[in-house]
A and B are shown apart, each in its own frame.
Chain A
Amino acid sequence: EDKVVQSPLSLVVHEGDTVTLNCSYEVTNFRSLLWYKQEKKAPTFLFMLTSSGIEKKSGRLSSILDKKELFSILNITATQTGDSAVYLCAEWDNYGQNFVFGPGTRLSVLP
């Protein structure tokens, strides 16, 4: 069974700091890895990664995948209080034909 692990589980930083969130996975047949931001309601899609070494970027957020070492990172630079959320990583389980979610990293950005 595929498995997704995230670290740290919780993180407190101050505005302006840069953070790196980690996601590692164990899969039998990798297809894609997704990052989500969840505030009060449903998860909001951030990135989908399928290829190793290609950075995806959106504003202050960026993410990259390492398929050899089976992990991905999500970077947030110059953090703002609005970045406070739970960040979820999910991997497509090609055998089960569904997504497997990690436990999430709860990020708190203090003013």
Chain B
Amino acid sequence: SAVISQKPSRDICQRGTSLTIQCQVDSQVTMMFWYRQQPGQSLTLIATANQGSEATYESGFVIDKFPISRPNLTFSTLTVSNMSPEDSSIYLCSAIKDSSYEQYFGPGTRLTVT
């Protein structure tokens, strides 16, 4: 398995500001993903974080709003830019360690935008 940590665990931010969420895995992983989960809803994939290249974004998510970095095989960041109250959500990082496709999640970051 993989142990994943995220920072911060929660934050309250003002409209128009940006927040960067960090995701650290305790070992090298094949793939890393970023999800958003709004209250009472299932998980929505934002993007796949690619090591050394631009992230692959899902429909409805763009790089200018959610820039992602993945400088190595154990670390990734997601920035939520120019925030609005609609961005209030839980943001989850996940990783697949190898070709087994077992996906593990970080504890999540609860973001509230006022």
On A, residues with C-beta under 8 Å from B are: 31-32, 34, 41-45, 48, 88, 90, 92, 97-99, 101-104
Q: Least Cβ distance of A27 to chain B in Å? A: 13
What 3 A-B pairs have minimum CB-CB distances, sorted nearest first?
Answer: A42-B105, A101-B43, A32-B101
Q: Least Cβ distance of A85 to chain B in Å? A: 13
Q: Is the CB of B107 within 8 A of A48?
A: no
Q: Is the CB of B42 within 8 A of A45?
A: no
Task: Identify the interface centre among B31, B44, B103, B107: most chain A CB within 10 Å of its CB.
Answer: B103
Q: Is the CB of B103 within 8 A of A99?
A: yes
Q: Is the CB of B42 within 8 A of A88?
A: yes
Q: Given known contacts A42-B106, A42-B107, A98-B48, is B100 in contact with A48 (CB within 8 Å)?
A: yes
Once the chains are docked, how many angstroms separate the CA of A88 from the CA of B43? 9
Q: Is the CB of A34 within 8 A of B105?
A: no
28 A–B contact pairs at CB < 8 A?
A34-B101, A34-B102, A34-B103, A41-B108, A42-B106, A42-B108, A43-B92, A43-B105, A44-B105, A45-B102, A45-B103, A45-B104, A45-B105, A48-B100, A48-B102, A88-B42, A88-B43, A90-B103, A97-B31, A98-B45, A98-B58, A99-B33, A99-B103, A101-B42, A101-B43, A101-B44, A102-B42, A104-B42
Q: Least Cβ distance of B45 to chain A in Å? A: 6
Once the chains are docked, how many angstroms separate the CA of A99 from the CA of B1? 17
**A-B pairs under 8 A by CB, number:** 47
Closest to B43 in A: A101
Q: Least Cβ distance of B2 to chain A in Å? A: 10
Residues of B within 8 A of A97 (CB): 31, 48, 56
Other than the known A34-B101, A48-B102, A92-B101, what 16 A-B pairs have Cβ atoms closer than 8 Å? Answer: A31-B101, A32-B101, A34-B102, A41-B107, A42-B105, A43-B105, A45-B1, A45-B104, A45-B105, A48-B100, A88-B43, A90-B103, A98-B33, A99-B33, A102-B42, A103-B42
Once the chains are docked, how many angstroms separate the CA of A5 from the CA of B101? 20
Q: Is the CB of A42 within 8 A of B48?
A: no
Q: Given known contacts A98-B48, A101-B43, is B101 in contact with A48 (CB within 8 Å)?
A: yes
